Amino acid sequence: MDNTRILFVCLGNICRSPAAEEILRTITRKAGKDWKIDSAGTYSGHKGELPDRRMHAAAGKRGYSLTHRARPVSIVDFLDFDMIVAMDDDNYETLRMMAPDTESENKVVRIRDFFNEDRTDTYVPDPYYSGREGFEYVLDLLEEACENIANGKRNS
Ligand code: 4NP
């Protein structure tokens, strides 16, 4: 599974998906894999912004430097990526509706497909209105899912 192209998508593209992008980039680089990894949002209101400072700080403590600039998902993304990973069911439904054809629609998956099998979570919760623990929990989920994505380990 080399040269895999993966796009992570959340709502604002300033918390969950830019963190996922950097975590998977770190894991795959360490493993010597040359993957194309990016992130985007279903909502364009934060376009051009750096990640939320709370996510920047929490990720920084774990060694991830977040430098992504927020951007909205575009139709071209459905051609440019092999797999589009939605953080929650709203993102998933929005992406499936946006997909220009069946092949593109089938590229959209839920991140829960990559959680460990013993996990009961079904999505990555939006941390925007949460406290610091919310950001730590998001990073725990993302590290687990990205490890499984990198190893081709899908639970459904
Ligand atoms: P994200 O978090 O989808 O993980 O980037 C959010 C960021 C901004 C907003 C909501 C969620 N917002 O409502 O502006």
Q: What confidence tens digit (pLDDT) does each residue in 85-138 have?
A: 999 999 999 999 999 999 999 999 999 999 999 999 999 999 999 888 999 999
Residue 52 is assigned to a structural domain of this protein: yes
Residue 96 is assigned to a structural domain of this protein: yes
> pLDDT value at position 3?
63
Conformation bin of residue 48: beta by default, left when phi > 0, alpha when psi is -120 to 50 = left
> What is the position in ligand 1's atom list of the atom closest to the CA of 11?
3
Nearest CA to ligand 1 atom 8: 12
- Whether 140 sits among the annotated catalytic residues: the reply is no
| More confidently predicted of 3 and 67 | 67
> What is the position in ligand 1's atom list of the atom closest to the CA of 70?
5
Average pLDDT of the segment spanning 35-49: 98
C-alpha distances (whole Å) from 80 to each of 4, 6, 107, 109 are: 11, 9, 11, 16
From the CA of 127, how far away is ligand 1's center (Å)? Answer: 8
Residue 155 is assigned to a structural domain of this protein: no
pTM above 0.75, yes or no: yes
| Residue 100 structure tokens | 């220009």
Domain residues for the domain of 87 are 5-150
From the CA of 13, how far away is ligand 1's center (Å)? Answer: 7
Residue 40 is assigned to a structural domain of this protein: yes
Residue 113 is assigned to a structural domain of this protein: yes
Average pLDDT of the segment spanning 31-35: 95
φ, ψ for residue 86 (rounded to 5)? -90, 140
> pLDDT value at position 156?
78
Secondary structure letter of residue 69 according to DSSP: P
Average pLDDT of the segment spanning 140-154: 97
CA gap 85, 72 in Å, rounded: 14
Asked if pLDDT for residue 1 goes beyond 60, the answer is no
Kindly provide the b/e burial profile for residues 120-140, where b requires at least 16 CB atoms within 10 angstroms of the residue's own CB: eeebbebbbeeeeebbebbbe
- Whether 146 sits among the annotated catalytic residues: the reply is no
* pLDDT tens for each residue of 49-69: 999 999 999 999 999 999 999
From the CA of 137, how far away is ligand 1's center (Å)? Answer: 16
Our count of domains for the chain comes to: 1
Residue 137 is assigned to a structural domain of this protein: yes
> pLDDT value at position 68?
98
- Whether 29 sits among the annotated catalytic residues: the reply is no
Q: How many angstroms from the chain centroid is the CA of residue 50? A: 15
* Helix-, strand-, coil-residue percentages of the chain, each rounded to 5: 40, 15, 45
CATH at 38: 3.40.50.2300
From the CA of 16, how far away is ligand 1's center (Å)? Answer: 8
Residues with CB under 6 A from ligand 1: 10-16, 45, 126, 128
Residue 156 is assigned to a structural domain of this protein: no
